[in-house]
Structure 1
């Protein structure tokens, strides 16, 4: 049964471009389906989280991460009486704006774009679904509902001024009410992102050998999970022991969010989704005690994983790749594919040119960025760019 503060498809604020709705799918189901069929969704397969795409087949990519986030989000949304389809749509699209090479690529591109308004992956995700995806005859983008666009833009909370460039540009013509919290569905997508990456960063770090099971077992939440598994299965092999422990870590986080959200919703009693948006605080989040424990886990991962020598070495390499490609395309737009080079060459000023170049680089996969760099920068004979993947 839907909660009074859930987003109802029939009450959606609609699409920027009017369309006849489907007789078989709700507006939020159509949003989800358009997201899944988007080119940006397919490219997530070859964009990585921490490790670079070629480093191992078992490490998470942005695609597997997004699927995990959507699975967790549907579970939490169902428990809270929220709309599962809208929750899933936001969860599946939340990483669309990420550059190649994870947060390292974003940091590099943001630094390069500092003179031109900066770069923000949430704002870029909104730009992708409202402009850069071009598969429909009557409009650019995916023409998603206002409700889904709101969730993509501000699932992490209200967006304070100054707004990221791409977000300000779109919001000027289609107000997403960026000063309020997002719907409960979008809040669920955001916390599910945290749950998924906390869990899979532990799994990927262990698989990569950056720390041991014994070191992980010293952490809050993780240690009790290992102890519980050992008590139930005292002679379990290492691989199964680890999987059973991390599965329990996942469960602890999900249960905590549901319990905390139920308490906050009961205390606030929002009459509808707009009351929830204007409650002045998030309704869906971790409890304070668990959040403190997760901060300890993140500090451990920062020291042992994100700043591991092999990861730092790769960070330096991929930063150079982004820097070199950005400067090359700014100086020589003829090295871009034809549909991009004409727009860049015709740009009115350096800012317009830089934003187009940033759009192109942000859309690259890890392997495509390496390939272009090898051909255009490291190689001796520049070659025309093949079509963007």
Structure 2
């Protein structure tokens, strides 16, 4: 610490933030804090600690075996929920750095934004939403993961700003610009990377892409991502936004992907089976809650059985859900 005139590395980082970040950035010293107070770390700022907690938690590791769009693909090159998360983080950090926002806060939100996603992607999410009496949203579940489920029911005790960004990454507007950046980056990532996966999977051809948006954004994945990032950087001050031409091109390309890929028969051929697995497991654990791990049995008593079953199933990887279904439904003497 002598080289820092007796100051801790955290204090030096905080001073650098206060000197160099935009007036619109959320500085580490301005955090609203955690639900349960913790003494500051000598080395890391509060947002750096949140990033590290997310990276080291069980839910983050399980993302590597959760579907992005294509169910259990054979190729190693299709995106998983983990690689999607890393790509969102990279795009978000690029934007945050250019706008002089808090990169550590941005990264923490990006890495945690999909922790509550179900197995089998949005199809698993929709299935749980149809089954549970209340409702199920993956962004609300991501918040629940970091607040309640992780660390054997203790939660990660993250800062208010990170939790807000995680909750608001899909529909709502985050209170910080860093959270808003992640929301934009999530869409940039999944639209353009899903195009690449769809072409690889034979669902799309390059020439199928709509001409108008491609002329504005670019023919290649790299060109499109660069165009979108540049538009945000050029048009954002106290609000994250595109210029109007870029926004319209982005929205048209996104609509094309929903029409031609996300809800296309070729993409959805196996999804009915995946939805059946989620539905079967949900009904099974509703009828036999004692079969769930002890943690979720405790959640059932505290939060209600339906919510606890959603907690358990949404935390499963694709492989775990399939194997559990096989264990319950297929005789062990049969080969499969």
TM-score (norm 2): 0.87
Matched, 1:110 2:129: yes
RMSD: 2.1
Matched, 1:16 2:35: yes
Structure 1: which 4+ aligned runs deviate by more than 6 Å?
none
CA contact (8 A) 2:217 2:246 kept: no
How far did 1:354 drift? 0.8
Cα–Cα, structure 1 residues 55 and 105, in superposed 2: closer, same or farther, change >3 Å?
farther
- The whole-number CA distance in structure 2 between the counterparts of 1:13 and 1:195 is 29
- The whole-number CA distance in structure 1 between the counterparts of 2:164 and 2:77 is 33
Matched, 1:286 2:242: yes
Post-superposition Cα deviations, 1:311-335, rounded to whole Å, max 9, x if no partner, equal 2222211111111000011111233
How far did 1:54 drift? 3.9
The residue number in structure 1 matching 2:312 is 360
The residue number in structure 1 matching 2:4 is none
How far did 1:211 drift? 1.5
- The whole-number CA distance in structure 2 between the counterparts of 1:374 and 1:94 is 30
Post-superposition Cα deviations, 1:102-131, rounded to whole Å, max 9, x if no partner, equal 111100000001x2x111111111111011
Describe how 1:284-363 pairs up with structure 2 within 5 A. 284-341=240-297, 344=300, 347=301, 352-363=304-315
- The whole-number CA distance in structure 1 between the counterparts of 2:124 and 2:75 is 19
Cα–Cα, structure 1 residues 284 and 223, in superposed 2: closer, same or farther, change >3 Å?
closer
Cα–Cα, structure 1 residues 39 and 355, in superposed 2: closer, same or farther, change >3 Å?
same
- The whole-number CA distance in structure 1 between the counterparts of 2:299 and 2:95 is 44
Matched, 1:87 2:106: yes
* 3-state SS in 2 of match to 1:96: coil
- The whole-number CA distance in structure 1 between the counterparts of 2:184 and 2:118 is 21
Structure 2: gaps (5+ residues): 1-19
Describe how 1:1-389 pairs up with structure 2 within 5 A. 1-113=20-132, 115=133, 117-134=134-151, 140-156=154-170, 158=172, 181-216=174-209, 218=211, 220-221=213-214, 225-226=218-219, 245-262=220-237, 265=238, 283-341=239-297, 344=300, 347=301, 352-376=304-328, 378-380=329-331
* 3-state SS in 2 of match to 1:10: helix
- The whole-number CA distance in structure 2 between the counterparts of 1:75 and 1:342 is 42
How far did 1:248 drift? 0.8
- Work out the number of aligned pairs and report it: 314
Structure 1: gaps (5+ residues): 159-179, 227-244, 266-282, 382-389
